[in-house]
Amino acid sequence: MANFFMKLFRRGEPVLKASPPAQAVGVHPAAASPTAAPALLQASEFDGNGFEDIWALLNAGNAPPASALAPDAQEMADFLVPKVKDIFQQIRPDPASFPTMALQILDMVNQPDLDMNQLIRAISPDPAISIYVLRAANSAMLNRGSQVQDLRRAVFQLGTREVGIIAAGVASKSLYDPFLKAEFEVFGRRWNLMFKNNMAVAMGASQFAFEQQVGRADHAFLAGMFHDIGKTLALRSLARLVLNAEVVPPIPDPVVDEVLERVHLEIGCELHHLWGLPEYLVNVCQHHHDKEVAPALEHTDIHILRLVEGLHRLVLDPANVARLDETRQSFQALQLTHRNLQRVWKDIGIQHERVVALFA
């Protein structure tokens, strides 16, 4: 073990070297992290089946035990966690880095007397948002038969709420992108997965609040986008450790998952305060992993998020029971019927497909 850590943390070494494969450092290939990041489904891959198994799982007594990390991997994670926290303090983003446009757009579309021209004027100066709105209007899932070539027609075809969600997602995407190309190359696949999975959860949570008339759809969307934002800065910190030659890559996936899970609440809540985000978002960030969350009105945003995120995790991998107790508790707090939950389950699959298609 001592030799392994000497290899992993070679300080000042100018050339990055590959570490042994995961099996050689004690990470058993079958011992997945309980917080492993799932891959994305491809569009149209989710068929809505398997709901009865999910219904039975949520109504069962105790959650099945999640797989544990192998001892060597756990020890590696223990060693990395304080280093990631130290690096984060060095690269903390400026308060102005938060995409305030996302809040402004969602606040705008939540107004009952919104003028469509006002929304068009707000988003048209941003070429990225305009491109994604046009792409959505012309997507196979939303196109109504003819090519849409101008922003005004796209907005009228999609509707204000749909446009607001797309625009807020695009405005927030910068938070899920690494600062440097070198950072992206260290964990390239993960940056994309983080954004797309959080976007799918945000869209699913917003749709749930809208259809079930529970909470506020704009609050649910932003909670989905930013509840795990600490993981992006934690991943950036891990990348910096590699780029600074303090860690020899690759870091096994289960170890990365474990480190991100253990530090994201502390880092994420610090970011929420740094950016001066609304109290309801701070509340979600602080408490969405609490062991017990009372079924009270002030906790509605948390319960919507935990239910949708848990179902989304099961859409990606029905065997992934990570945080199933949280999902079950929020399912019970929201008092959903079999029919309502089945509708939510199918809609989460649809939202996931939309994200895969829109942000390909």
Helices and strands: H and E segment counts in the chain: 17, 0
Higher pLDDT, 276 or 20: 276
- pLDDT bracket for residue 280 (50, 70, 90): very high
Domains by residue range for the chain, with CATH: 71-95+178-358 (1.10.3210)
pTM value is 0.82
Per the CB < 8 A criterion, the answer to whether 305 and 227 are in contact is yes
For range 187-194, the mean pLDDT: 86
Q: Judge if the upstream peptide bond of residue 250 is cis by omega within 30 degrees of 0.
A: yes
Q: How far is CA 29 from the centre of its chain?
A: 25
pLDDT, one tens digit per residue, over 119-133 is 888 888 889 899 999
pLDDT, tens only, 316-357: 888 888 889 999 999 999 999 999 999 999 999 989 988 988
Write the secondary structure of 303-324 as one string of H (helix), E (strand) and C (coil).
HHHHHHHHHHHHHHCCCCCCCH
- Residue 201: its pLDDT value, please? 96
Lowest mean pLDDT among 60-64, 110-114, 245-249: 60-64
CB 353 within 8 A of CB 43: yes
Q: What is the predicted pLDDT for the residue at 334?
A: 95
Say if residue 28's pLDDT is above 60: no
3-class DSSP state for residue 66?
coil
Q: What token pair was written down for 47?
A: 């068929």
Q: For residue range 56-75, what is the model confidence (pLDDT) as tens digits?
A: 989 887 666 667 788 999 99
36, pLDDT greater than 50: no
Spatial CB neighbours of 162, under 8 Å, sequence gap ≥ 6: 136, 142
Per-residue pLDDT at 208: 95
Question: Among 88, 99, 97, which residue's Cα sits nearest to residue 230?
Answer: 88
Cα distances (angstroms) measured from residue 226 to each of 115, 176, 316: 28, 10, 20
DSSP 191: H
pLDDT at 179: 76
Q: Please list, in sequence order, all residues whose beta carbon lies within 8 angstroms of the beta carbon of residue 150, skipping any fewer than 6 positions away.
A: none
Residue whose pair of structure tokens reads 């100066």 in the numeric block: 125
Q: How far apart are CA 23 and CA 312, in angstroms?
A: 30
pLDDT at 27: 30
Sign of CA dihedral 143, 308, 202, 230: negative
Whether the per-residue pLDDT at 33 is higher than 50: the answer is no
Is the CB of residue 185 less than 8 Å from the CB of residue 16? no
How would residue 145 be classed by pLDDT, with cut points 50, 70 and 90? Answer: low
User: Residue 39: what pLDDT?
Assistant: 57
